[in-house]
Structure 1
Amino acid sequence: MKTDVKALVVGGGAVGTSIAYHLARAGWSDVVLLERDELTSGSTWHAAGLLPYFNMSYATTHIHDYSIKYYKTLEEETGLDAGFFVVGNLRMAQSDARMDEYRLYATTAETCGVPFEWLSPAQIKERWPLLETGDLKGAIYHPTDGYINPADVTMAMAKGARQRGVTIERKWQVDGYHWAGDHWQVTVTKMTERGGNLVPTDETVTIRAEHVVTATGNHAQRTAKMLGLKSPAIPVEHQYIVTEPDPALVEWRKSNPQHPVLRDADAKWYVREERGGWILGPYELNAPACFEYGVPDSFRADLFPLDLERIEEEYMSMIHRIPSSETVGLKDDYNGPICYTPDGNPLIGPAPGLRNMWLAEGFSFGITAAGGAGYYLAQMMVEGEAEIDMASLDPKRFGEDWMTTEYAARKNEEAYEHVYILHHPDEERPACRPLRTTPCYDRQKALGAQFGCVNGWERPNYYGPVDAPDSFDHDARSFRRGGWWQYAVDEAKAIREGVGIIDASAFAKHAVKGPGATAFLDWFTCNKLPKVGRIGLTYALSAKGTTRTEYTIVRLAENDYYLVSAGGWQAYDRDYLEKAAEDFGFDQGYFSVHDVTTQWGVFALAGPKSRELLTELVRDADPATVLSNKRFPWLSVRDIELYMCPVRAVRVAYTGELGWELHHPIEMSAYLWDKLMEAGAKHGLKPVGARAQNWLRQEKSYRAFGHELGRDGTPLEADLPRFVDLSKDFHGKAELEATGIRSKCCTVLIDGPDDADPWGREALYHGDTRVGRLTSGGYSVAFGKSIGMGYVTPELAVPGTRLKVRIMGDLWDAEVVKDSPYDAENARIRVDG
């Protein structure tokens, strides 16, 4: 047993062995992998081994694509057959809405270079006559994937890892982690068989590891507790059945290749061939979470009892789709734990609050993702960042402090049953809601607010009919212009023409103050710091010079700063900010970093009538001038009083109109909302949701973190040189300059279809050549057409370039326009009063 290593990987399933392999391949020769039982003894052993490409996530699609290509190379490298059957993957649709879902997904596949084909019902029947196709609308077919033997591929990766110098130790359980300042001390205990159970012995060892990766699968909750973390990774029961041989299938196979993996998404199942019979894997309702508080010591490579009643509907629908299967009996069944997260995607990346601790947990599609997860995580560990933006899979993306085990378990059950429910790009899942609400929640709901969920917060997406039933938002969702679309149009027009109010309380907010605060933030961010009483937009960069976080910095005093960032990334931003503060040190003066998100509510008031409305409420010796350009210029901050509510007012508007962000004590939100609504009645004040705001910010070419801004591009590639001060030293500067401009962000106006707008994942073409992709999309009320932002090759990111964008399967004309096509001179924002 090695006791001093560069990296220790904990967990010997497909994910853990892949990570160990890829760390060694990336140049870390001193790697040890520990498994508490035998390799593959967790969920890997009972996985069905499917390799589906289908995923709406750009990062996850890249991960799956890498896995599928990598697994095909393992036999040549290791001499072991990974058991990969490249039979293809046929995903069928029973409805037009399902076909729209596939068309939207296909844009992600297209931008990632994933091959696919479209098939009609007749073409499906011609290729695979055992299938009933009379009720189908069509299908999307991936010819290059299929299924694999989970144990075989894991063993092949393990052998490949050993060949590259990795040491794999079985029957060792981790019982404690301690950070010693520059390395981890990991206490491990030797396990042994006793009476069919796995029990600890008296033999313990302490391993010194510079880095630790946990890939502990169903044991993620135990791991989290040892690390002092909260983790949403909790298993859900997944069952599948294996039939006896189907005579019709046996006859078919005498002269034909295997069927592809079949997916009838509307029936909520997958089916593949297995030794002349069929494997049916349903994603049914009411599958329960398990092991919420840890896996029992007695549970090893075990299964739960099958619940056939729970999957009866799915079983009958298989018989409908494959009529010959009606007469075959059941040969085997499996019901085992598969780890999930609330969005169904894994947790990959640095652990919150910890140094050199990396998480690879919550893999609901672990075999599909294992290869790519190992590859990209190894890049993050060895090189500082991955070649793709992994933020959407970051372990901190769900928040942390407020999340409970009950919340995670119920959301994971929901994620499981949503595997085959239509994935609308505007979907909002209902479980565990409402949970985090501002004091104005009931008032907004009474006005027809239809809420989205951001970091657990309820945030209005738009305001529908006041008398709408609770199901209105579900009915309104669509892959095209849904029932919500006209409401968002009216809200956007209200801000452009009058005045609107947006609840932005979900913004992440941090206070940085103390004698060393200025020196720290000057190093931490790439732009000049604002003067006292002013605000500035800036970026914190990754070690590779890419955009790690976007901040609006409000300078309250010489060494007193208030940082505002995206609401969905609160824990993500806090972790990076706090770790950066530790890296910087206190040689130039002590400073503190505090997350004050829940202390401040925020209302964004915007529109040409916003000053007129606020003037009625402000309490000042000269209320007529307090909001004028002279006393309150654009991009400045003032403490004002609106009746009895103290407000930190920031003159900025994400919508590109005259406006203010009104930061206030959150306990006064209801009071301030009532006063604003009362005074705003005669000015036509309209509550506005996030969807209209998103459209409006695109008309101003305002980049958004997680869309135009991320860890796969620099601020210069985002075409934001005005926010980068190359005359000073800052974290990531040398790497930013060395990267150059690989692609460039631009805004496009689109002559698209009458019933659909882009969502921000569509492929961009110049002639017949794919040259980039959209990162945001929507509708422009100012121009009366679709709008989008995205990245293309630098020479094409100039106004007047004619492009095409794929929307709902077809290519539509688009033109690159100058940044901020609406009010490029910012005259409306700066207007005096």
Structure 2
Amino acid sequence: MKTQVRALVVGGGAVGTSIAYHLARAGWSDVMLLERDELTSGSTWHAAGLLPYFNMSYATTHIHDYSIRFYKGLEEETGLNPGFFVVGNLRMAQTRERMDEYMLYATTAETCGVPYEWLTPKEIGARWPLVRTDDLVGALHHPTDGYINPADVTMAMARGARQRGVAIERKWQVDGYEWTGAAWRVTATKMVEKGGNLVPSDERVVIEAEHVVTATGNHAQRTARLLGIRIPAIPVEHQFIVTEPDPALVEWRKTNEQHPVLRDADAKWYVREERGGWILGPYERGAPARFLYDVPESFRADLFPLDLERIEAEYMSMIHRIPSSEEVGLKDDYNGPICYTPDGNPLLGPAPGLRNMWLAEGFSFGITAAGGAGKYLADLIVEGEAEIDMASLDPRRYGPWMTTEYAARKNEEAYEHVYILHHPDEERPACRPLRTSPAYDRQKARGAQFGQVNGWERPNYYGPVDAPEGFDHDARSFRRGGWWPHAVEEARAIREGVGLIDATAFAKHVVKGPGATDFLDRFTCNRLPKVGRISLTYALTSHGTVRTEYTVLRTGEQSYYLVSAGAWAAYDGDALIRAAEDWVAAGNPGVMVSDVTTQYGVFAIAGPRSRAVLGRLIRDADPGTALSNKRFPWLSARNIELGMVPVTAIRVAYTGELGWELHHPIEMQNHLWDRLMEAGEAEGLRLVGARAQNWLRQEKSYRAFGSELGRDATPLEADLPRFVDLSKEFHGKAAMEATGIRSTCVTVLIDGPEDADPWGREALYAGGERVGRLTSGGYSVAFGTSIGMGYVRPDLAAPGTRLEVKMLDRLWSAEVQRDSPYDPENARLRADG
């Protein structure tokens, strides 16, 4: 057994085996995999092996697409048949709203090149007469996916890994991790059979590894304790049953191919053929989380007792959809643990706060994702970045506030929501409210309808306090939801008067120390501001793409206040700290990074009347000029007093109007809120939520991290050369310049349907050819039509270029606008008073 390797993979399920294989394929021959039991003995062995393309995530769709293409070539490479049945995938819809969901997904699939077709109920019945179709409105059919044997595909990947030099060691349990500063010392114990259980022996080994990847599945909580971190991956029970042969199906198969995997999402189940019978897999309510702290030593390739009462409704709906199954008995049943995360996406990437430690945990669709997860994680480890933006899967999207109880309850919710309509404006209720700003109750009393960002409650919009009978605050849609007219009025209020937005969820970091200026100058691509001024800048990856967007306020010669997206506080903080540690380790002057997110609240006030509102509150020797351009110019910051509250006011507005961000001690937030409400009454102040703000920033072509900005595009491709100082050296510069311009970010106005706007997941066309995709979408109050931002081929980025957007299964005309189509000269932002 090796005791020194370049990469050690811990976990021998489909995901871990794929990672070992792909590391070797990327050129790392010195790779070892440890499995505490036998390969596939975790959730892999009882997985149903489905390979669905369907996913609303751009990154995850790419991962699934790679897996399916990769599995098809495994037999040729390894000589082992992975048991892949390319039968297709039929997603049936009982409602028009479900078809709207499929149409949104379909255009997302187009952006990744995934084939599909639409079928009417009549066409479904003609192809597969055993399926009842009289209550369907249609279906989405993916002809190229299907299902696979989980054990066979894992063994094929294992053989492929061995052929490339990977050592695979079974019956070794990792019991400790120690970082030496240059490598990991991993302690492993030999496991032996005793009375049917697997128990530790006295044989131990210490393995030194430059990189470690954990793919420990159901054992993720044990892994978290050993590493001293939190991993919100906890299993949830998943049941599926296998019927005896169905005579009608057996007769059908004498002259026909297999049925596709059938999914009745409105009934919350999947069904596929299995040896002349059917497998039914439901996603029912009430499935409990298991192994919140540990997997019992006695639990190996084991199952839980079946709870048929819990899935009775789904079982009866299968009989309704496939009437011939009514008289068929049950042959086998399975109820095993499947790991989930709070948002249903896996945790794939760097472990928070640790060097060269990589997580591949929380795979609820592990067989589907295993191939792509191995490929793209190997890219991250070997090349520094993957060809797709992996931020949405990054383990650091959850901060240290996340607890076991939170993860368990949210994971149960994620399981239950597998087939619940995935509205783009969806807000799931479990574990809320949890993180609230002090003004939460005041906002709620004024009709705030909240969304959740990194655990924070943030107003999405403000509905009527005394709602009329029948008004549904939760009315969501794939078109314009019940919130839409309220967001329109909020956006109009900022354009015409004044609005107030709670931006407390912003991530906030302080960087200071004798080396702070030189460090940030290398860490970010724009020139640093002068003291008292601000600048917008980007931290780049080693590939020259956008790692993070920061608003930088310089508070002193060697002190800075950095503001970034609220959803990414831990992600941003981890990168800052690692970079600062590297800086100091290289012999440079000291730098200290502090996360001050929870110390400061933020209100953003914007609109032509914003100066008048603040003028009523400011305490100054000359209040009449305190907020003028002369004393308080655009893109500057001042410490002011609003009533009794000391405020760091930054003259910037994400909405593109005259405005300020008011950063204040969070313990004084309610006092400031009350004073702003009093002062704003005379000026017609309106409370504004995040959805209206999102529309307004698109009118100004303001890019958003996680949408237009990410690790798959450089700031030059985002068409932001004004924020890149090519006269200096900075991290990622050479790679950015070498990349060139592969695609360009544009803003488009869309002549779309009367009842729908784009969501930022749609394909863009020119002359019948797919040429790009939207990354954001919404409605423009300034132009009275739909608006969107996205990426197209550089030759199609000129203003006036005619494009088409795929929405609701139709192409709608769109036109590329000049950057910042609303107030392109920034006259309103610079307005004096």
Contact 1:549–1:705, Cα closer than 8 Å, also in 2? yes
Say whether 1:512 aligns with 2:511.
Answer: yes
Aligned match of 2:261: 261
Give distance in 2, aligned partners of 1:524 and 1:202.
48
Q: How does 1:220-259 map to 2 (within 5 A)?
A: 220-259=220-259
Give distance in 1, aligned partners of 2:698 and 2:809.
23
Say whether 1:552 aligns with 2:520.
Answer: no
Contact 1:535–1:553, Cα closer than 8 Å, also in 2? yes
Give distance in 1, aligned partners of 2:468 and 2:617.
34
Listed one character per residue, the Cα deviations across residues 84-114 of structure 1 (whole Å, up to 9, x for unaligned) are: 0000000000001100000001111000000
Q: How does 1:198-213 map to 2 (within 5 A)?
A: 198-213=198-213
Give distance in 1, aligned partners of 2:494 and 2:637.
22
Contact 2:83–2:152, Cα closer than 8 Å, also in 1? yes
Give distance in 2, aligned partners of 1:797 and 1:466.
44
Give distance in 1, aligned partners of 2:444 and 2:518.
44
Q: How does 1:782-797 map to 2 (within 5 A)?
A: 782-797=782-797
Aligned match of 1:327: 327
Aligned match of 2:659: 659
Give distance in 2, aligned partners of 1:521 and 1:797.
32
Aligned match of 1:486: 485
What SS is found at the alignment partner of 2:335? Answer: strand
Give distance in 1, aligned partners of 2:187 and 2:561.
41
Contact 1:450–1:473, Cα closer than 8 Å, also in 2? no
1:591 Cα deviation after fit: 1.9
1:473 Cα deviation after fit: 5.9
Q: Which runs of 5+ in 1 are unaligned?
A: none
1:263 Cα deviation after fit: 0.2
Q: How does 1:362-441 map to 2 (within 5 A)?
A: 362-399=362-399, 401-441=400-440
Listed one character per residue, the Cα deviations across residues 634-680 of structure 1 (whole Å, up to 9, x for unaligned) are: 00000000010000000000000000000000011111011001110
Aligned match of 1:571: 570
Aligned match of 2:348: 348
Give distance in 2, aligned partners of 1:631 and 1:470.
50
Give distance in 2, aligned partners of 1:739 and 1:472.
51
1:583 Cα deviation after fit: 1.4
1:585 Cα deviation after fit: 1.4
Residues 817-826 or 464-473, more deviating: 464-473
Give distance in 2, aligned partners of 1:467 and 1:240.
46
Say whether 1:713 aligns with 2:726.
Answer: no
Give distance in 2, aligned partners of 1:475 and 1:207.
53
Contact 1:603–1:661, Cα closer than 8 Å, also in 2? yes
Contact 2:10–2:214, Cα closer than 8 Å, also in 1? yes
Listed one character per residue, the Cα deviations across residues 746-804 of structure 1 (whole Å, up to 9, x for unaligned) are: 10011111000000010000111100000000000000000000000001111010000
Q: How does 1:283-682 map to 2 (within 5 A)?
A: 283-399=283-399, 401-468=400-467, 475-585=474-584, 587-682=587-682
Give distance in 2, aligned partners of 1:663 and 1:377.
38
Give distance in 1, aligned partners of 2:532 and 2:375.
46
Give distance in 2, aligned partners of 1:545 and 1:469.
52
1:11 Cα deviation after fit: 0.3
Listed one character per residue, the Cα deviations across residues 375-415 of structure 1 (whole Å, up to 9, x for unaligned) are: 0000011101000000000001122x111100000000000
Say whether 1:180 aligns with 2:180.
Answer: yes
1:813 Cα deviation after fit: 0.5
Contact 2:473–2:482, Cα closer than 8 Å, also in 1? no
Say whether 1:798 aligns with 2:798.
Answer: yes
- Taking only the aligned residue pairs, the percentage that are identical comes to 81
Say whether 1:760 aligns with 2:760.
Answer: yes
What SS is found at the alignment partner of 2:613? Answer: helix
Aligned match of 1:35: 35
Give distance in 2, aligned partners of 1:238 and 1:553.
47
Contact 2:284–2:314, Cα closer than 8 Å, also in 1? yes
Listed one character per residue, the Cα deviations across residues 133-156 of structure 1 (whole Å, up to 9, x for unaligned) are: 000010000000000000000000
Aligned match of 2:169: 169
What SS is found at the alignment partner of 2:682? Answer: helix
Aligned match of 1:64: 64
What SS is found at the alignment partner of 2:615? Answer: helix
1:808 Cα deviation after fit: 1.1
1:476 Cα deviation after fit: 1.9
> Which residue identity does 1:212 align to in structure 2?
V
> Which residue identity does 1:649 align to in structure 2?
A
Contact 1:501–1:606, Cα closer than 8 Å, also in 2? yes
> Which residue identity does 2:298 align to in structure 1?
S
1:468 Cα deviation after fit: 3.8
**1:469–1:575 Cα change, 3 Å:** farther
1:220 Cα deviation after fit: 0.4
Q: How does 1:89-100 map to 2 (within 5 A)?
A: 89-100=89-100
Give distance in 1, aligned partners of 2:345 and 2:539.
26
1:465 Cα deviation after fit: 1.2
Q: Over the residues paired in the alignment, what is the CA RMSD in angstroms?
A: 0.9
Contact 1:349–1:360, Cα closer than 8 Å, also in 2? yes
Contact 2:49–2:367, Cα closer than 8 Å, also in 1? yes
Give distance in 2, aligned partners of 1:467 and 1:161.
63
Contact 1:515–1:588, Cα closer than 8 Å, also in 2? no
1:807 Cα deviation after fit: 1.0
Aligned match of 2:817: 817
What SS is found at the alignment partner of 1:830? Answer: coil
> Which residue identity does 2:582 align to in structure 1?
D
Aligned residues: 832
Contact 2:473–2:483, Cα closer than 8 Å, also in 1? no
1:589 Cα deviation after fit: 2.1
Aligned match of 2:747: 747
> Which residue identity does 1:454 align to in structure 2?
V
What SS is found at the alignment partner of 2:50? Answer: coil
1:623 Cα deviation after fit: 0.4
Aligned match of 1:214: 214
1:568 Cα deviation after fit: 0.3
Give distance in 2, aligned partners of 1:364 and 1:36.
21
What SS is found at the alignment partner of 2:614? Answer: helix
Listed one character per residue, the Cα deviations across residues 23-51 of structure 1 (whole Å, up to 9, x for unaligned) are: 00000000000000000000000000000
What SS is found at the alignment partner of 1:273? Answer: strand
What SS is found at the alignment partner of 1:281? Answer: strand
Say whether 1:703 aligns with 2:707.
Answer: no
1:472 Cα deviation after fit: 6.0
Listed one character per residue, the Cα deviations across residues 54-102 of structure 1 (whole Å, up to 9, x for unaligned) are: 0000000000000000000000001001000000000000001100000
Give distance in 2, aligned partners of 1:100 and 1:304.
37
What SS is found at the alignment partner of 2:828? Answer: helix
1:475 Cα deviation after fit: 3.7
1:682 Cα deviation after fit: 1.1
Aligned match of 1:736: 736
Say whether 1:78 aligns with 2:78.
Answer: yes
Listed one character per residue, the Cα deviations across residues 287-335 of structure 1 (whole Å, up to 9, x for unaligned) are: 0000000111111000000000000000000000000000000000000
Give distance in 1, aligned partners of 2:50 and 2:503.
42
1:471 Cα deviation after fit: 10
Listed one character per residue, the Cα deviations across residues 708-729 of structure 1 (whole Å, up to 9, x for unaligned) are: 0000010000000000001101
> Which residue identity does 1:143 align to in structure 2?
P
Give distance in 2, aligned partners of 1:86 and 1:465.
51
> Which residue identity does 1:510 align to in structure 2?
H
Listed one character per residue, the Cα deviations across residues 514-537 of structure 1 (whole Å, up to 9, x for unaligned) are: 111001000100000000000000
1:478 Cα deviation after fit: 0.6
What SS is found at the alignment partner of 1:190? Answer: strand
> Which residue identity does 1:107 align to in structure 2?
T
When normalised by structure 2's length, the TM-score is 0.99
